[in-house]
């Protein structure tokens, strides 16, 4: 196993977790979202099973847990040389093109550099720029929340707040035309409106 920590604020945030886990496997830190950009995932935790040739054989994006017996069973089966079975149906919604990917990485790098110098507002501005390019990227969004609303993360993570905040922010962004590479979803209300006009 290799653990990859997505920490756009720098590796320091993950240190206590690595120490607590007493990691006996390689742990690396991805500060600039390289892995999420390549694999097209927008949130963590994720489990990806890779064969001897480096080919992905199974993946679970979102909700993967090494404490979930079902997930553990799949991993054990695969490591024993067996077929891991079908992946949960979780197609990443989109993947950025190379130029957007580079831009997002640059903005994340800027944000991290600012955060490490204690320039909170500049860091948030850079992360917001990255999020505008990749609005469904939850790792970037949560990084911003963790700085803007630390009380929602410590001592416990307020999942209810996250869900409500995500919905509210996405609604505002879509209304402002920030939709990601696949464009904006058509809101049901406007389809009803068209039908009403046509009839």
Partner 1 sequence: MRGTRPEGETVTRFETTANVGATVPDIVLPRFEGGELRFVELRGKRLLLFFWGSW
User: Binders of partner 1 among 2-41, rule CB under 8 A?
Assistant: 2-7, 11, 13-18, 23, 26-30, 32, 34-36, 38-41
8 A C-beta contact, residue 162 and residue 145: yes
Least Å distance between CB 194 and partner 1? 29
Binding window for partner 1 (CB under 8 A); candidates: 86-94, 118-126, 128-136, 183-191: 86-94
Task: Tell me how long the chain is.
Answer: 199
Residue 130 belongs to what H/E stretch? helix 120-133
**Element at 28 (helix H, strand E):** strand 27-30
Residues 136-175 that bind partner 1 (CB under 8 A): 139, 142-143, 145-146, 153, 157
User: Given the structure tokens 């079902």, which residue do they identify?
Assistant: 70
Q: Which is nearer to partner 1, 51 or 192 (CB)?
A: 51
Say which residues have a Cβ less than 8 Å from residue 125's Cβ, sequence separation at least 6.
111
Shortest separation between residue 58's beta carbon and partner 1, angstroms: 7
3-state secondary structure at position 48: strand
Q: Is the CB of 28 or the CB of 176 nearer to partner 1? A: 28
Closest CB 117 distance from partner 1, rounded Å: 19
Q: For the chain, what is the largest distance between any 2 Cα atoms, rounded to a whole number of angstroms?
A: 66
Interacting residue with partner 1 among 67, 70, 73, 91 (CB under 8 A): 91
């Amino acid at each position: 196993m290799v653990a990859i920590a997505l920490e756009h604020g720098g590796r320091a945030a993950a240190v206590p977790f690595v120490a607590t886990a007493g990691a006996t496997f390689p742990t690396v830190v991805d500060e600039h979202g390289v892995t999420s950009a390549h694999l097209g995932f927008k949130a963590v935790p994720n489990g990806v099973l890779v064969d001897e040739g480096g080919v992905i054989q199974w993946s679970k994006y979102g909700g993967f847990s090494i404490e979930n017996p079902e997930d553990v069973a799949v991993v054990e089966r695969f490591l024993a040389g067996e077929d891991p079975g079908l992946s949960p149906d979780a197609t990443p919604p989109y993947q950025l093109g190379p130029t957007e990917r580079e831009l997002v990485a640059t903005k994340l790098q800027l944000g991290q550099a600012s955060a490490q110098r204690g320039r909170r507002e500049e860091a948030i501005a850079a992360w917001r720029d990255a999020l505008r390019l990749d609005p469904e990227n939850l790792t970037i969004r949560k990084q911003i929340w963790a700085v803007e609303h630390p009380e929602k993360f410590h001592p416990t993570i307020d999942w209810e707040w996250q869900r409500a905040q995500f919905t509210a922010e996405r609604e505002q962004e879509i209304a402002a035309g920030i939709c990601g590479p696949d464009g904006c979803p058509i809101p049901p209300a406007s389809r009803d409106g068209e039908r009403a006009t046509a009839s």
